[in-house]
Amino acid sequence: MWIFGYGSLLWYTDFPYRSVVPGIVRGYSRRFWQLSPDHRGTASSPGRTVTLVADENGSCWGLAYEVAEEQASDTIKYLDIRERAGYLREEVIFYPDSGSPLFPINVYLASEKENPYFTGPTDEESIVCTILRARGFSGTNIEYVLRLAECVHRMAPHVNDEHLFTIEKKVLDGCHQLNIKDDYLTKYLNQKHLSESFSKP
């Protein structure tokens, strides 16, 4: 069984897997159109997490995790709980970066019907305002955005995820303008500074 990770599964799996393959799914785009009432926010002040939305010309880069058959049932049970706030499991086609044969893969994406946490299209400024103040039991919403952006920058430098990187930049600008202190923000900025220093001739 294969599981597609495109959000927090890029850095936090918490389930056993045999192998991992980078690649894309086509016909979808990654968007911050899902509210988080638990992991990155609360019921009264939900944060924002990504989901995949249908997009005929879109694609989303992520990681395919191969789960052994004897562990598939337990993994699905775990992920069904982890992604309980409005996400459904569907099967899509995965295209490996290596060009090797494509294969079917399970993915969790937000239900657009009877899902109180799916917002649909939302302007980026509103999304960022939510992210800057939200915090859940898994950490700040700022941390979520920066971890996700860092993973894509580092693991897939060939990918230009315009929506994700725009949100990342606006979050960084907002943190600077509002003098927001965040533990992961400090770590992120230090890593970015080191990376830029090493890249200079």
Q: What is the pLDDT of residue 197?
A: 45
CA angle at 79 for the pair 75 and 83, rounded to the nearest 5°: 175
Q: Is residue 200 part of a domain?
A: no
The pair of three-digit structure tokens given for residue 67, joined into one six-digit string: 């789960």
Find the helix or strand (DSSP H, E) in which 1 lies: none
CATH number of the domain within which 117 lies: 3.10.490.10
Q: Is residue 153 part of a domain?
A: yes
Residues of the chain scoring pLDDT < 50: 197-200
Of 152, 166, 135, 172, the closest CA to residue 48 belongs to: 135
Which of 69, 83, 143, 168 is catalytic? The answer is: 83
Residues in Cβ contact with 85 at an 8 Å cutoff, skipping those fewer than 6 apart: 34, 35, 36, 37, 38, 39, 117
Q: What is the pLDDT of residue 199?
A: 47
Q: Is residue 25 part of a domain?
A: yes
CA separation for the pair 134, 132 (Å, rounded)? 6
Q: What is the pLDDT of residue 189?
A: 86
Q: What is the pLDDT of residue 12?
A: 94
Q: Is residue 111 part of a domain?
A: yes
Q: What is the pLDDT of residue 107?
A: 97
Q: What is the pLDDT of residue 191?
A: 79
Q: pLDDT tens, 7-19?
A: 999 999 999 999 9
* Residue 168 known to be catalytic: no
Domain hosting residue 114, numbered range? 2-195
Q: What is the pLDDT of residue 195?
A: 56
Query: What is the count of structural domains for the chain?
Result: 1
Q: Is residue 201 part of a domain?
A: no
Residues in Cβ contact with 193 at an 8 Å cutoff, skipping those fewer than 6 apart: none
